Structure 1
């Protein structure tokens, strides 16, 4: 039987907007024998396996992918299904495809199986039925992240059936919990409990990609940019609480929990964390600024050279994405206050969501919020304790050069730009475990984001198939 681990313990495409020169390129598709039908079957099975936190099962999806790998020739010893008694439906899979070299450290292919909630009554089509329509695949997870999970799984299936012999051992980790902060997270569990299963020189993950000008490539659209994610912010929620004895609403007083909390939130709104740069963001601002050539581009170059340039900062901050890349960012996202319509509030709470610049801790971010609010009566608490610090991997030529070389073949004339993701992925856990993690290019999106985390998620068929071909070639290059 396939090994099952049961633990007693507890789980940038947007960055390229209006930047690179747009080219009408029909990206090459895979060659003669692509195994496309088999890939489509794997992709369909993943998308149609509900893996939402409320009613789905990542464990089932992992078991189905393990069955496909076993049918392709993987031995039981190469497949490890894992779950915990507390979270039986949040399991995952680690598969190991051995290489011939004892000197080369393995590489890790990472993807998450869980998806954001999707209600049938809100969608035009059934979110858990893969539908191909007008050159697109529709369904929850068609991009985030079952596209990559299916590509990685299908790739190892093909390698096994073809008898491909890499020098570097290739590991695959399909995990759960990436979409829900505070839920069981498989990547975190593996890093803490079974580090040896995923030990690798580096990992390839979601987060990179490309974007079109809004018209599908298959219908003459233009690709505007390709990104390689080299680092990301860390995610943390803080609960702010103001309390008061309350009383009868017919006799109001100035001291009011809602007012105090509101004043604190307004101070957070007006507070800006210091501008910071690392190797990735400095390279991004410099290269992207050069490509743009407009006033914003010139300001990007200027602030990368001198973070204290207030005039350049004022220009760059007009773009919310560029502004977010410059520093830690915090924003109020939820509020809850009062207990009765005719009573003074005894308690008012708010959630403040922070995306922390690589290297910044939750403790220092909390301290900065407290200082900005300036009211010790407002309590601040981290919703999830002991989350890892985001660590940006190096701009390693051994990774970057193959990414760029193969991208030039698939998307000639369009540069690959290193980008720091303003959001977050499971790369924060593998990075914290000492495994440099990169979000690789491949699948491109439209400017509207293709419904990721929203309604009617979709991906262009040509994008998925070209991304599959690109990633296969990239993995082979890095494995040799």
Structure 2
């Protein structure tokens, strides 16, 4: 038996417990109170209120010295509980384009009977905060609000800083505050560029920091309806043109189809940098695909991982199905929802045509469901954005690279990019290897990750706001 590793583990545990036991700085205690209030304000679509959460954050800003002229609370009559807030801290140079801080207030639904703890009570346990929204996205919303509070007490920066806390990011088809602002109150959020969720960083299973991420691109979310109809009839007399079978055959073709590899500057840079952080066999495939997107062996290796596969290409998957009208009747109609995450540069109509070609059956129609938003446009890999983040990361997270990433999901950045405001998912908050229960049960975030992320983002905002 080797003794040294055991001693090392015990020492590491002891040091971690000492760190956990250390009292919070006064500014951290104030932040925790703000964070707790926001997390414990229910903002689910079913029974919650983003409008209330926005008002409470506005109250913190007013207590810090912001005036009514600096703060805009907004909502629409059709969605009175889906409101948000915009706050402005004016800079000294009216010619400098503002910096926008964006975060969403709404959270995914959470049922108390499913959770180990009350999802709407912030609980600190074994070095973690547990609650719905503890991570997504109230961690960032609280950090940005807290940063605006702290910045108000300091000499004004060169660049105006804006904060927008919005609702509707988590629910497809709901009122979306970021979209509404970009279309109706663009002047409130107009900026040279924006900081949003989607970046952060990753810990391994033991909590060791692995890498930081800057999101500069995301896929376009789009649903399609596959449908087949026929006259139906009595179930005692089956016929070959059965609507359910025809739909099942079509879905089988969609399942077997794989869109071609479609890299862009962001995903190419991701594979190039990520290659050094993964096992050699995987790293070699990443290097190869970045050099040659047509490398079939590398494609095969990378496609085995769901996340990497989605980074390589557009993906489409069946998510809902409905068919038939009675147990003793042949189906007259069968439909399926196919959800696609479309790579930047591809249009929703082009993807519909591809799906129709894959199905290749005149009995099955493929239609575009109501578009959920604009087509994603990558933000530029701008050195003036990346270099300050990298320099600060070298100080606060020594040894970690910032890797540019394309989100395979979706965020409100897509509405900003469509409005001409480049949006970056900033690094700083390190998330668990398994995602920390985001959108699932017992969502959690490390206290140390939250607090260090808070320090990093506050300092990064100050650097950007002061930059020429």
Normalising by structure 2, we get a TM-score of 0.93
Residue equivalent to 2:78: 86
The structural deviation recorded for 1:397 is 0.3
Q: Contact 1:370–1:376 at 8 Å: present in 2 too?
A: no
Q: Deviations over 1:256-304 (max 9, x none)?
A: 1111111111111111112111111111111212443612211111111
- In structure 1, list runs of 5 or more residues that go unmatched: 1-22, 216-220
Q: Which of the residues 182, 186, 189 maps onto 2:180?
A: 189
The equivalent of 1:100 in structure 2 is 92
- 2:363 is aligned, of 370, 377, 382, to 377
Alignment of 1:261 onto 2:247: yes
Q: Give the match for residue 303 of structure 1.
A: 289
* Conserved? CA contact 2:172–2:372, under 8 Å: no
Aligned to 1:109: 101
CA contact 1:211–1:223 (8 Å) conserved in 2: yes
Is 1:143 aligned to 2:143, yes or no?
no
Q: How far apart, CA to CA, are the structure 2 residues paired with 1:192 and 1:365? A: 26
Count of aligned residue pairs for this structure pair: 451
After TM superposition, the structure 1 = structure 2 runs for residues 340-351 of structure 1, keeping only pairs within 5 Å, are 340-351=326-337
SS of 2:33's equivalent in the other structure is: helix
Distance 1:474 1:351, change over 3 A: same
Which of 445, 455, 463 is 1:469 aligned to? Answer: 455
Residues 203 and 432, structure 2, Cα contact 8 Å, conserved in 1? yes
The runs of 5 or more residues in structure 2 that have no matched partner are 1-11
Q: Could you tell me how far 1:376 is from its partner in structure 2? A: 3.0
Structure 1 CA distance for aligned equivalents of residues 255 and 372 of structure 2: 26
Q: Please, which of 425, 429, 451 is the counterpart of residue 443 of structure 1? A: 429
Residue 402 in structure 1 maps to residue 388 in structure 2: yes
| C-alpha separation in 2, matches of 1:291 and 1:138 | 29
Residue 357 in 1 paired to residue 343 in 2? yes
2:230 counterpart of 1:244:
yes
Match of 2:166 in 1: 175
For residue 214 of structure 1, what is the aligned residue in structure 2? 205
1:13-35 Cα offsets, whole Å, 9 max, x none, are xxxxxxxxxx9999x99999651
Query: Structure 2 residue aligned with 1:278, among 264, 270, 276?
Result: 264
CA apart distance, 1:426: 0.4
| Equivalent-residue separation in structure 2 for 1:477 and 1:432 (angstroms) | 26
Counterpart of 2:193 (choices 184, 196, 202) is: 202
Give the TM-score normalised by the residue count of structure 1. Answer: 0.91
CA deviation map 1:165-185 (0-9, x unaligned): 111100011011101111111
Give the corresponding residue for 1:218: none
Structure 1 residues 211 and 386, CA, compared in 2 at 3 Å: closer, same or farther?
Answer: closer
- For residue 4 of structure 1, what is the aligned residue in structure 2? none
Instruction: Tell me, in whole angstroms, the C-alpha distance in 1 between the residues paired with 2:32 and 2:356.
Output: 51
Structure 2 counterpart of 1:413, from 390, 393, 399: 399
Residue 74 of structure 1: how far off its partner (Å)? 0.5
The equivalent of 1:224 in structure 2 is: 210
- For 1:10, the equivalent position in structure 2 comes to none
Paired residue for 2:409?
423
Secondary structure at the counterpart of residue 134 of structure 2: coil
Distance 1:330 1:351 in 2: 10
CA-CA distance at 1:384 after TM superposition? 2.6
